[in-house]
Amino acid sequence: MTSKDTAIWFQNGDEPISFNLQFQNNGDLLTHLIINVELSIPCEITIDDTVDVPYSELIAHSDNSVPSHARLLFPTPTLHNRRVDFTIRAKCQQILNKKVTPTLRLRIESFVPQYTNQFDFNAVSKMKSEFVIEVKKQPMKSIKVPMNTETEVDLNFDVALHIRGLSYDSELVYSAQLLLDDSIDIKVISLDISSPDCTISTVDDLTLDPRVMAQQKFKIAKEQRVEKVHLSVKAKVKFITSKDFQFTLKINPLVRDGADYSLESIFAYEMKHIFMIALGITRTNIAILVLATLGCFLLFTALFLLLHFMILPRFVVGNEEIGYIIDEVAVAEEY
Protein backbone atom coordinates (compact mmCIF):
# COMPACT_ATOMS: atom_id res chain seq x y z
CA MET A 1 0.00 0.00 0.00
CA THR A 2 1.51 3.33 -1.06
CA SER A 3 0.45 6.96 -1.18
CA LYS A 4 0.54 8.63 -4.59
CA ASP A 5 1.01 12.12 -3.14
CA THR A 6 1.01 14.06 0.11
CA ALA A 7 -2.38 14.70 1.64
CA ILE A 8 -2.92 18.30 2.78
CA TRP A 9 -5.47 19.49 5.30
CA PHE A 10 -6.37 23.15 5.77
CA GLN A 11 -7.47 23.34 9.39
CA ASN A 12 -9.47 26.54 8.81
CA GLY A 13 -11.03 25.42 5.52
CA ASP A 14 -13.96 23.28 4.41
CA GLU A 15 -12.11 21.20 1.82
CA PRO A 16 -11.87 17.48 2.67
CA ILE A 17 -8.56 15.67 3.11
CA SER A 18 -7.81 13.50 0.08
CA PHE A 19 -5.64 10.44 0.61
CA ASN A 20 -4.79 9.17 -2.89
CA LEU A 21 -3.68 5.59 -2.37
CA GLN A 22 -2.66 2.57 -4.42
CA PHE A 23 -2.32 -1.03 -3.44
CA GLN A 24 -0.61 -3.76 -5.42
CA ASN A 25 -1.20 -7.50 -5.19
CA ASN A 26 2.20 -9.14 -4.88
CA GLY A 27 0.71 -12.60 -4.42
CA ASP A 28 -1.18 -14.85 -6.76
CA LEU A 29 -4.88 -14.20 -6.47
CA LEU A 30 -6.41 -11.72 -4.05
CA THR A 31 -10.12 -11.78 -3.43
CA HIS A 32 -12.51 -10.33 -0.87
CA LEU A 33 -9.97 -7.86 0.50
CA ILE A 34 -11.16 -6.23 3.73
CA ILE A 35 -9.73 -2.81 4.74
CA ASN A 36 -10.39 -1.26 8.11
CA VAL A 37 -10.01 2.56 8.00
CA GLU A 38 -9.27 4.68 11.06
CA LEU A 39 -8.63 8.41 11.23
CA SER A 40 -7.08 10.05 14.28
CA ILE A 41 -9.54 12.97 14.36
CA PRO A 42 -13.34 13.05 14.02
CA CYS A 43 -14.22 13.21 10.34
CA GLU A 44 -16.80 11.98 7.87
CA ILE A 45 -15.16 9.40 5.60
CA THR A 46 -16.03 8.66 1.97
CA ILE A 47 -14.22 6.41 -0.50
CA ASP A 48 -13.81 6.85 -4.25
CA ASP A 49 -12.12 4.61 -6.81
CA THR A 50 -10.69 5.38 -10.22
CA VAL A 51 -11.04 1.98 -11.88
CA ASP A 52 -14.68 1.26 -11.07
CA VAL A 53 -13.87 -1.45 -8.57
CA PRO A 54 -17.16 -2.30 -6.85
CA TYR A 55 -16.75 -1.56 -3.16
CA SER A 56 -18.94 -2.98 -0.45
CA GLU A 57 -18.58 -0.29 2.20
CA LEU A 58 -20.04 -1.35 5.51
CA ILE A 59 -20.18 1.60 7.90
CA ALA A 60 -18.65 5.03 8.43
CA HIS A 61 -19.33 7.07 11.50
CA SER A 62 -17.96 10.08 13.34
CA ASP A 63 -17.82 10.49 17.10
CA ASN A 64 -16.18 13.20 19.18
CA SER A 65 -14.83 10.63 21.63
CA VAL A 66 -13.33 8.10 19.22
CA PRO A 67 -11.49 8.36 15.90
CA SER A 68 -13.47 8.04 12.68
CA HIS A 69 -13.93 4.51 11.38
CA ALA A 70 -14.90 2.96 8.09
CA ARG A 71 -14.83 -0.62 6.92
CA LEU A 72 -14.85 -1.62 3.28
CA LEU A 73 -14.63 -4.72 1.17
CA PHE A 74 -13.10 -5.40 -2.27
CA PRO A 75 -15.17 -8.33 -3.53
CA THR A 76 -13.52 -8.38 -6.97
CA PRO A 77 -10.56 -10.78 -7.45
CA THR A 78 -7.23 -9.02 -8.00
CA LEU A 79 -4.57 -10.76 -10.06
CA HIS A 80 -0.82 -10.85 -9.46
CA ASN A 81 0.94 -7.45 -9.77
CA ARG A 82 -2.42 -5.79 -10.32
CA ARG A 83 -2.59 -2.20 -9.03
CA VAL A 84 -5.74 -0.55 -7.79
CA ASP A 85 -6.07 3.20 -7.18
CA PHE A 86 -8.58 4.57 -4.73
CA THR A 87 -9.12 7.74 -2.72
CA ILE A 88 -10.24 8.12 0.87
CA ARG A 89 -11.74 11.52 1.61
CA ALA A 90 -12.22 12.84 5.11
CA LYS A 91 -14.30 15.94 5.78
CA CYS A 92 -13.28 17.27 9.18
CA GLN A 93 -14.36 20.10 11.40
CA GLN A 94 -12.22 23.23 11.58
CA ILE A 95 -9.62 23.32 14.35
CA LEU A 96 -8.16 26.79 14.93
CA ASN A 97 -6.66 26.76 18.41
CA LYS A 98 -3.89 24.20 17.83
CA LYS A 99 -2.04 22.35 15.12
CA VAL A 100 -3.26 18.81 14.48
CA THR A 101 -1.71 16.15 12.24
CA PRO A 102 -4.39 13.75 10.92
CA THR A 103 -3.19 10.15 10.60
CA LEU A 104 -4.93 7.63 8.38
CA ARG A 105 -4.42 4.02 9.48
CA LEU A 106 -5.33 1.18 7.15
CA ARG A 107 -5.46 -2.42 8.36
CA ILE A 108 -5.77 -4.96 5.59
CA GLU A 109 -7.50 -8.01 7.01
CA SER A 110 -7.89 -11.45 5.53
CA PHE A 111 -9.47 -14.73 6.55
CA VAL A 112 -6.04 -15.75 7.86
CA PRO A 113 -5.32 -13.48 10.89
CA GLN A 114 -1.52 -13.72 10.75
CA TYR A 115 -1.47 -12.05 7.34
CA THR A 116 -2.96 -8.77 8.56
CA ASN A 117 -1.01 -5.68 7.35
CA GLN A 118 -1.11 -2.14 8.71
CA PHE A 119 -0.21 1.14 6.97
CA ASP A 120 -0.13 4.70 8.36
CA PHE A 121 -0.33 7.86 6.25
CA ASN A 122 0.01 11.36 7.74
CA ALA A 123 -1.57 14.44 6.25
CA VAL A 124 0.25 17.80 6.29
CA SER A 125 -1.68 20.38 8.31
CA LYS A 126 -1.77 23.96 7.09
CA MET A 127 -3.76 27.08 7.68
CA LYS A 128 -5.54 28.40 4.63
CA SER A 129 -4.41 31.92 3.95
CA GLU A 130 -7.00 34.40 5.20
CA PHE A 131 -5.66 37.94 5.30
CA VAL A 132 -6.10 41.39 3.78
CA ILE A 133 -3.34 43.89 2.96
CA GLU A 134 -3.96 47.64 3.09
CA VAL A 135 -1.45 50.33 2.16
CA LYS A 136 -1.82 53.55 4.12
CA LYS A 137 -1.48 56.89 2.32
CA GLN A 138 1.64 58.87 3.22
CA PRO A 139 2.40 62.58 2.58
CA MET A 140 4.48 63.48 -0.45
CA LYS A 141 8.18 64.19 0.07
CA SER A 142 10.40 66.59 -1.90
CA ILE A 143 13.99 67.74 -2.24
CA LYS A 144 15.71 70.57 -4.13
CA VAL A 145 18.66 69.92 -6.45
CA PRO A 146 20.85 72.20 -8.60
CA MET A 147 20.10 72.61 -12.27
CA ASN A 148 22.20 70.83 -14.92
CA THR A 149 24.49 69.30 -12.32
CA GLU A 150 25.09 65.59 -11.74
CA THR A 151 23.48 64.89 -8.38
CA GLU A 152 23.34 61.78 -6.20
CA VAL A 153 20.22 61.66 -4.01
CA ASP A 154 18.91 59.26 -1.35
CA LEU A 155 15.16 58.79 -1.68
CA ASN A 156 13.59 57.70 1.61
CA PHE A 157 10.04 56.32 1.38
CA ASP A 158 7.98 55.45 4.46
CA VAL A 159 5.42 52.74 3.66
CA ALA A 160 2.76 51.65 6.17
CA LEU A 161 1.14 48.25 5.59
CA HIS A 162 -1.83 46.96 7.57
CA ILE A 163 -2.02 43.14 7.33
CA ARG A 164 -5.06 41.63 9.04
CA GLY A 165 -6.42 38.09 9.13
CA LEU A 166 -6.25 34.71 10.81
CA SER A 167 -3.56 33.16 8.66
CA TYR A 168 -0.84 35.13 6.85
CA ASP A 169 1.14 33.59 4.00
CA SER A 170 4.82 34.13 4.85
CA GLU A 171 5.78 32.85 1.37
CA LEU A 172 3.99 35.72 -0.35
CA VAL A 173 6.37 37.74 -2.53
CA TYR A 174 6.05 41.54 -2.76
CA SER A 175 7.33 43.88 -5.45
CA ALA A 176 8.78 47.33 -4.77
CA GLN A 177 8.71 49.26 -8.05
CA LEU A 178 10.43 52.63 -8.41
CA LEU A 179 8.96 54.32 -11.50
CA LEU A 180 11.29 56.70 -13.38
CA ASP A 181 10.80 59.73 -15.62
CA ASP A 182 11.64 58.57 -19.17
CA SER A 183 12.69 62.09 -20.24
CA ILE A 184 15.64 62.14 -17.80
CA ASP A 185 18.68 59.90 -17.72
CA ILE A 186 18.46 58.35 -14.25
CA LYS A 187 20.81 55.75 -12.79
CA VAL A 188 19.45 53.67 -9.90
CA ILE A 189 22.37 52.57 -7.74
CA SER A 190 20.51 50.61 -5.04
CA LEU A 191 17.05 49.88 -3.64
CA ASP A 192 17.01 48.66 -0.03
CA ILE A 193 14.01 47.58 2.06
CA SER A 194 13.94 47.16 5.84
CA SER A 195 11.43 47.11 8.70
CA PRO A 196 11.59 47.44 12.50
CA ASP A 197 8.49 45.23 12.91
CA CYS A 198 9.45 42.06 11.04
CA THR A 199 12.11 40.31 8.97
CA ILE A 200 12.57 41.36 5.33
CA SER A 201 14.29 38.99 2.91
CA THR A 202 15.01 39.92 -0.69
CA VAL A 203 14.09 37.65 -3.59
CA ASP A 204 16.41 37.72 -6.62
CA ASP A 205 18.57 40.71 -7.50
CA LEU A 206 17.57 44.27 -8.28
CA THR A 207 15.90 44.43 -11.70
CA LEU A 208 16.58 47.53 -13.79
CA ASP A 209 14.63 48.67 -16.83
CA PRO A 210 16.37 51.88 -18.03
CA ARG A 211 14.14 54.97 -18.16
CA VAL A 212 11.16 52.90 -16.96
CA MET A 213 11.58 51.43 -13.48
CA ALA A 214 13.70 49.58 -10.93
CA GLN A 215 12.18 46.60 -9.13
CA GLN A 216 13.16 44.66 -6.01
CA LYS A 217 11.19 41.60 -4.85
CA PHE A 218 11.03 40.71 -1.17
CA LYS A 219 9.19 38.69 1.48
CA ILE A 220 7.77 39.75 4.84
CA ALA A 221 8.13 37.26 7.70
CA LYS A 222 6.06 38.44 10.63
CA GLU A 223 4.40 37.05 13.72
CA GLN A 224 0.66 36.48 13.61
CA ARG A 225 -0.02 39.16 16.24
CA VAL A 226 1.78 41.85 14.20
CA GLU A 227 -0.68 43.71 11.99
CA LYS A 228 1.04 47.05 11.34
CA VAL A 229 4.21 46.73 9.30
CA HIS A 230 6.31 49.82 8.60
CA LEU A 231 8.64 49.54 5.63
CA SER A 232 11.61 51.82 5.01
CA VAL A 233 12.44 51.87 1.30
CA LYS A 234 15.71 53.65 0.48
CA ALA A 235 16.71 54.25 -3.11
CA LYS A 236 20.04 55.78 -4.15
CA VAL A 237 19.84 57.49 -7.57
CA LYS A 238 22.02 59.71 -9.74
CA PHE A 239 20.82 62.09 -12.45
CA ILE A 240 21.18 65.46 -14.24
CA THR A 241 18.05 67.54 -14.71
CA SER A 242 16.94 70.90 -16.00
CA LYS A 243 13.34 70.63 -14.82
CA ASP A 244 11.19 69.44 -11.93
CA PHE A 245 10.10 65.79 -11.95
CA GLN A 246 9.03 63.00 -9.58
CA PHE A 247 9.79 59.44 -8.52
CA THR A 248 6.87 57.08 -7.83
CA LEU A 249 7.07 54.01 -5.57
CA LYS A 250 4.50 51.19 -5.69
CA ILE A 251 4.30 48.18 -3.35
CA ASN A 252 2.30 45.24 -4.74
CA PRO A 253 1.93 41.58 -3.71
CA LEU A 254 2.72 38.99 -6.38
CA VAL A 255 0.38 36.02 -6.01
CA ARG A 256 2.02 32.81 -7.21
CA ASP A 257 0.31 30.27 -9.43
CA GLY A 258 -1.56 27.64 -7.47
CA ALA A 259 -2.09 29.82 -4.38
CA ASP A 260 -5.33 29.29 -2.45
CA TYR A 261 -6.21 32.99 -2.80
CA SER A 262 -6.25 35.66 -5.47
CA LEU A 263 -4.81 39.17 -5.60
CA GLU A 264 -8.29 40.69 -5.50
CA SER A 265 -9.15 38.79 -2.30
CA ILE A 266 -6.13 40.01 -0.28
CA PHE A 267 -5.16 43.42 -1.68
CA ALA A 268 -7.56 46.27 -0.93
CA TYR A 269 -6.20 49.00 -3.24
CA GLU A 270 -2.97 50.21 -4.78
CA MET A 271 -1.24 53.23 -3.27
CA LYS A 272 1.47 55.35 -4.89
CA HIS A 273 4.17 57.16 -2.91
CA ILE A 274 5.54 60.34 -4.52
CA PHE A 275 8.98 61.92 -4.10
CA MET A 276 9.30 65.29 -5.88
CA ILE A 277 12.59 66.62 -7.29
CA ALA A 278 12.55 70.43 -7.57
CA LEU A 279 15.22 72.76 -8.90
CA GLY A 280 16.85 74.81 -6.16
CA ILE A 281 18.72 78.18 -6.20
CA THR A 282 22.49 77.92 -5.73
CA ARG A 283 25.01 80.66 -4.86
CA THR A 284 25.92 80.92 -8.51
CA ASN A 285 22.27 81.43 -9.41
CA ILE A 286 21.96 84.10 -6.71
CA ALA A 287 25.07 85.90 -7.99
CA ILE A 288 23.72 85.82 -11.52
CA LEU A 289 20.38 87.22 -10.37
CA VAL A 290 22.12 90.03 -8.41
CA LEU A 291 24.34 90.96 -11.35
CA ALA A 292 21.39 90.85 -13.74
CA THR A 293 19.36 93.10 -11.42
CA LEU A 294 22.27 95.53 -11.03
CA GLY A 295 22.84 95.55 -14.77
CA CYS A 296 19.17 96.33 -15.42
CA PHE A 297 19.31 99.16 -12.86
CA LEU A 298 22.40 100.73 -14.47
CA LEU A 299 20.88 100.35 -17.91
CA PHE A 300 17.64 102.09 -16.94
CA THR A 301 19.61 104.83 -15.13
CA ALA A 302 21.70 105.50 -18.25
CA LEU A 303 18.60 105.63 -20.44
CA PHE A 304 16.95 108.09 -18.05
CA LEU A 305 19.98 110.42 -18.04
CA LEU A 306 20.22 110.22 -21.81
CA LEU A 307 16.56 111.09 -22.20
CA HIS A 308 16.71 113.93 -19.71
CA PHE A 309 19.86 115.74 -20.82
CA MET A 310 20.18 115.01 -24.52
CA ILE A 311 16.84 114.21 -26.06
CA LEU A 312 14.23 116.27 -24.24
CA PRO A 313 16.03 119.64 -24.66
CA ARG A 314 15.66 119.30 -28.43
CA PHE A 315 11.88 119.19 -28.28
CA VAL A 316 10.88 121.23 -25.22
CA VAL A 317 11.19 125.13 -25.39
CA GLY A 318 11.82 126.92 -22.11
CA ASN A 319 10.00 130.09 -20.80
CA GLU A 320 11.00 133.36 -22.60
CA GLU A 321 10.18 137.08 -21.88
CA ILE A 322 8.16 138.72 -24.65
CA GLY A 323 8.10 142.53 -25.01
CA TYR A 324 5.19 144.45 -26.47
CA ILE A 325 5.32 148.01 -28.00
CA ILE A 326 2.06 149.95 -27.83
CA ASP A 327 1.61 152.92 -30.19
CA GLU A 328 -0.45 155.99 -29.30
CA VAL A 329 -3.95 155.71 -30.63
CA ALA A 330 -6.90 158.01 -30.63
CA VAL A 331 -9.40 157.31 -27.90
CA ALA A 332 -13.03 158.25 -28.42
CA GLU A 333 -14.38 160.95 -26.22
CA GLU A 334 -17.09 158.78 -24.79
CA TYR A 335 -14.47 156.60 -23.11
How does the average pLDDT of the chain come out, rounded? Answer: 82
- Supply the pLDDT for residue 330: 60
- Supply the pLDDT for residue 62: 39
Of the candidate CATH numbers 3.10.450, 3.30.1240, 1.10.10, 2.60.40, the domain formed by 131-280 belongs to: 2.60.40
Are the folds of 2-126 and 131-280 the same?
yes
The answer to whether 12 and 79 have CB atoms below 8 angstroms apart is no
CA distance 236 to 148: 19
Range in 161-165, 241-245, 285-289 with the lowest mean pLDDT: 285-289
**Best mean pLDDT range from 78-82, 128-132, 229-233:** 229-233
- Supply the pLDDT for residue 315: 67
The CATH class given to the 2-126 domain equals mainly beta
pLDDT confidence tier of residue 65, bands split at 50, 70 and 90: very low
* Residue 160 in this model has a pLDDT that exceeds 70: yes
CA distance 269 to 250: 11
* Positive or negative torsion for Cα 113, 75, 81, 87: negative
Of 260 and 316, which is predicted with more confidence?
A: 260
- For the chain, the domains span 2-126, 131-280
Residues 6+ apart with CB under 8 A from 295: none
Q: What phi, psi does 314 have (nearest 5°)?
A: -75, -20
Q: Which amino acid is at 196?
A: P
- Supply the pLDDT for residue 47: 78
